[in-house]
Structure 1
């Protein structure tokens, strides 16, 4: 762990993110150092500076860079960086809401839809965050996010993603909801609507009580119920939603364990200032290997160094 990181601990002790505001922040100095590093193609310095500042500070650096150097920092980064490292560093430079909107847009771009990334974002972000992401999506892509989701999905899965986008907290009665969900499983074909309505409108603590009651009533685990009674994209989506209700950090750790570059980028950038420490703890719990070590085994070069800088330390 580097000295600059330790210097910032006194200000942000207790945060669940790995990236924290740099306490001795000097945007003019950072901008000039970045300019010198970019001219020399000194990638290590670029990574060191940008990975040791939080997003708000990176935005100030970007603005200062343009004022002092009269160049756009992102454009300058593109000229020096390449490949996965370029992609990762440019994602770090995005505003958080823009980044989430970008991930959703990319998940729906092209011929196929990346349903799991859609679900990851919709299940792990709060109602307020998703409202803000919807606004950002409209600003950046001039399209309505809900309409885009409806166009790119279908059937019960489409109803599920739209309900998650518009999730709200509604009070309920645990036993009544257990009975409703249990009744939805009685027919030849399980009913999706009660699952969508209840699982997207109750808080996590409440839903875990419902899950416990439903398991006692049916004699099956939630995983078994979802696997046996539902199918297709809806089964996949419902399975992810249940995992995120039970423990979102375990789910995200499982996603990271795939070590697929876009997945690793997405989760690490999205959660670096929020709860990446929790995801790291979950990762070592389910794999017996730290995320830091796993990254070293799967990536290399400057790209690896940037990932390690955001992961921050060994567990």
Structure 2
């Protein structure tokens, strides 16, 4: 079985690609009728919670201080990861059939699950469309569940950590190494407790003190680490749409990859923290089929039943073919309906059925039928259905390849995945690009910023 144009020029072949087709759960052909900078971190409650206990300018509450908030650990209920309703499914991206795929349980189960992030500048990586890096075959370790590189510290003492940070910032100069040691080895929930203890002990806001002592990328990374995860997503969306221009890749990466629960929490947080309606902001900053796709996404109503309906997958594949490749012109609403409503495991099955029926992968068909931001949004959804860890590995690579570094993307992905699946992202990154994530970070960053990133990622 061959795939015209894959892998793209300049990329080496990978084991298991192109796929043999034996991994598919579909019957062989013939058994179906195939037709051939951070804003002010305002003191408002988040979401509304009059008794949040975190008043004062610059404050935002710790996870757990409002209904539905991220709980300690901040991770979804996948195998090998502590449960926690506040943060979602492993994002993964891919391009083609045969792509590495985490087990279906990784996308939900009883605890509804789904991703974070964004891209400054509003431009997709140069690989889009039609030039995605090829992805390796499924590594054996991917079947063992997902895990982050940061776990809650044992024998945690918020007051002791607050004192360490106070001493690191007191007097002449700043002890950045002490800050790195504390921040990189505490979970997000523990950082919220440190922040609260700091204000209780010293009557000062830890975030303001850190901002006064740090600058540049190091400041951005530290402040991101101290943001509650849902707030960080809401802040990223607001930052992507305020002022002139829109960072469409931020909107795509967040809204096209989260679980229903996460999206609803983000919508509530966006309203309570920034006093704005997310859907209205999307409508005013985007247009056309891209606007409709994002509005569909921010409803948080995707089917999250993890059971795959193979007949529905076959029907959807037929429907998508007839709405695109099988007709003159494109029925965009059909693609929107299928990709906005089906569960991620169901979409993966639809992609398999489409490939058998049309003898080409659905991502390539979308590349021929769509362009611009709506193409990138539709592809992001399918890539997450295939493999979230590879989705992030590719974006990390794109943030550092070539001249310059897209530090905002690098910070966002490292921070948001650090307690979810950064271990798997590192493994897939190494397999895809034949170099470790740590090596690439070390070559593209410097100083305390590099030290903290490497401490989070792990050597």
Please give the TM-score of this superposition, normalised by the length of structure 2.
0.64
1-side partners of 2:397 and 2:153: how far apart? Answer: 29
2-side partners of 1:69 and 1:309: how far apart? Answer: 28
| Cross-structure match for 2:206 | 73
Q: Structure 2: any 5+ residue segments left out of the alignment?
A: 1-72, 74-78, 82-146, 401-405
Please give the TM-score of this superposition, normalised by the length of structure 1.
0.92
SS in 1 for 2:276: coil
SS in 2 for 1:124: coil
Matches within 5 A, 1:1-315: 14-15=80-81, 16-39=147-170, 40-166=173-299, 167-169=301-303, 173-185=312-324, 186-258=326-398, 259=400, 260-313=406-459
| Shift in Å, 1:50 | 1.3
SS in 2 for 1:52: coil
| Shift in Å, 1:123 | 2.5
Does the aligned pair in 1 maintain the 2:344–2:384 contact within 8 Å? Answer: no
CA deviations 1:157-189 (Å, max 9, x no partner) are 111111122232177622221221111013321
Larger mean Cα displacement after TM superposition, 109-118 or 28-37:
109-118
SS in 2 for 1:71: coil
1-side partners of 2:271 and 2:199: how far apart? Answer: 26
Q: Structure 1: any 5+ residue segments left out of the alignment?
A: 1-7
CA deviations 1:9-32 (Å, max 9, x no partner) are xxxx94311111111111111111
SS in 2 for 1:236: helix
Q: Which runs of 4+ in 1 moved over 3 A?
A: none
2-side partners of 1:29 and 1:174: how far apart? Answer: 55
Does the aligned pair in 1 maintain the 2:256–2:294 contact within 8 Å? Answer: no
CA deviations 1:219-269 (Å, max 9, x no partner) are 222232011111222112212222121112111111111221010111111
Structure in which a larger fraction of residues adopt helix? 1
**Number of aligned pairs?**
302
| Shift in Å, 1:132 | 0.4
Larger mean Cα displacement after TM superposition, 74-83 or 103-112:
103-112
> In angstroms, what is the RMSD of aligned CA positions?
1.7
SS in 2 for 1:200: helix
2-side partners of 1:204 and 1:243: how far apart? Answer: 9
